[in-house]
Structure 1
Amino acid sequence: MVLASALVVLLAVAGVASSRWVLRRYDALGRRRPFPTITVAVALGLAVACAVPLWLHDRLEHRLSAVAGGLVGAPVTVHCQTPSETFVHAGGELGYVRWDATGVPEHSTVLAYDACRDLRRWLGSDKRRASLDEVVAVHVLTHESMHMAGLLDESRAECAAVQRDARTAMALGATRDEAVALARQYWTQAYPRMPDGYRSGCGAGGEHDEHLPLAPWDVGGGP
């Protein structure tokens, strides 16, 4: 990560400047050298500027991992792409989970930079007027959690996620009404636009209906 590398370099600069002063506090004539205040202050100031977004990124990942782990029923890891990672990511998906040769999923997922950005925006909002991008971002976390739970088929994972979106939203701090509204918004506005492979057997009485509380079709009708 670029910021992490910059942080290390800046701390090293501050450390080297301070160490050199400690080792050479006096010049050849015995005069005390001034402490390199400006150099150290600038380096440390820039280091803090790098450290804050790193800390916020780590905090977001830990929060998302905890929520996803609750959905999966086991400890999992959620990694949010950094801006630099988007340049080497060729896929257009908002999240993915890797599977091994026997069809067992890893308990880790990668969420695209855009998805994590929209999740962060939603988390920082009043959660009453979520944009569709923010709604989709919350759903992506739920959907990838279903893959980590072992659902390989996209239509099953999608329908399982649709029925748990309200639960995810509440785990992320939304009230019940806000969570239900978010789940309904995804069900009525985003789900109908998904490819056919994502939309089979879902809905009241459908093949993948788990009859869970807060399923969007039980709190407002179909898409």
Structure 2
Amino acid sequence: MLWWALSIFFFWLGLREIYYGFIPRAGFDSPNDVISKPYVLTTFVIAAAFAYMPLRYWAFERFLTEKAIILSESSKAHVHCNTVFDTMFDRQVFAAGHAQIETGRIVFQHPWCGRLMDHLDHPEKMTREGVFSIQIFAHEAMHIRGERDEAKTDCQAIQRYARAAQLLGITSTTLAKENGMFYYTQGYQDRAAIGGMTGQYYSDQCAPGKALDEKLPDSTWN
């Protein structure tokens, strides 16, 4: 909201300058002699700059929603990227993301949408945050698909990681699977050692040939 407020403010300043070039100000008999074009241009450029970020995230939310519908196989799925203020007042503030099965709402906490955008620009770098951001997307989509158990949900997401990555624009199947296996070996396996709440997301049955293996033809570990 702050970005929009600043954008509207500077846009209003530019419009005001144009307006008073035709309409007299209060207490004056005639309008301004000259409309300051540099001033108007500057205020409009600043307004556009402040509008860019929320517009970018709005477009990204629409993009993620489209892909979440496909991955979750649910038309209810829709994605929201929390701002800093949204995250501060979110009851699940310490979760990177969360989903509500009944409504289909998926929420990315700040700054995970930004990390996902950065990762999709350069997936070959395979930064830990970037790789994890796709797993968050896939994980929450599996909740919308109907699974509530966290360990099963994360395992389902791992197996669909490559599918999710390709839906999001990583065209190379090899790279998509490398990203997924990076999470599986560098992130998921750590959960068993950490334990606690993190351990709730882990199952030793999440492995090829074990109980949670869905044997998907495009499985990340296939």
CA contact (8 A) 2:4 2:54 kept: yes
Partner of 2:174: 177
Match of 1:158 in 2: 154
The residue that corresponds to 1:203 in the other structure is 207
Match of 2:144 among 138, 144, 148: 148
What RMSD over aligned residues (CA atoms) do the two structures have, in Å?
2.1
Q: Which letter maps to 2:53?
A: P
Q: Percent identity?
A: 24
Pairing 1:64-143 to 2, within 5 Å after superposition:
64-75=64-75, 76-89=77-90, 91-98=93-100, 104-125=101-122, 127-143=123-139
Q: Distance in 2 between matches of 1:163 and 1:105?
A: 24
Q: Which residue type is aligned with residue 96 of structure 1?
A: H
d(CA) in 2 for partners of 1:31 and 1:14? 15
Does residue 57 of structure 1 match 2:57? Answer: yes
**Matched letter for residue 71 of structure 2:** L
Query: Gaps (5+ residues) in structure 1?
Result: 99-103, 219-223
Q: State how far apart, in whole Å, the 1-side matches of 2:73 and 2:85 are.
A: 32
Give the C-alpha shift of residue 2 in structure 1. 0.7
Given that residues 118 and 137 in structure 1 are in contact (C-alpha distance below 8 angstroms), is that contact kept between their aligned partners in structure 2? yes
1:191 aligns with: 188
Distance change (3 Å), C-alpha of 1:31 and 1:215: closer
TM-score, normalised by the number of residues in structure 1:
0.85
Q: CA deviation at 1:178?
A: 0.6
- Given that 1:24 and 1:33 are in contact with CA atoms closer than 8 Å, whether structure 2 keeps it comes out as no
Instruction: Note the alpha carbon deviations across 1:144-173, whole angstroms, 9 max, x for none.
Output: 001111111111111110110000111112
Q: How far 1:31 sits from its partner (Å)?
A: 8.8
**Runs of 5+ unmatched residues, structure 2:** 192-197
SS of alignment partner, residue 40 of structure 2:
helix
> Structure 1 pair 20/70, CA: closer, same or farther in 2 (3 Å)?
same
Q: Distance in 2 between matches of 1:210 and 1:105?
A: 24
- Pairwise mapping of residues 29-48 of structure 1 onto structure 2 (< 5 A)? 33-48=33-48
* Paired amino acid for 1:150: G
Matching residue of 1:221: none
AA aligned opposite 2:21: W
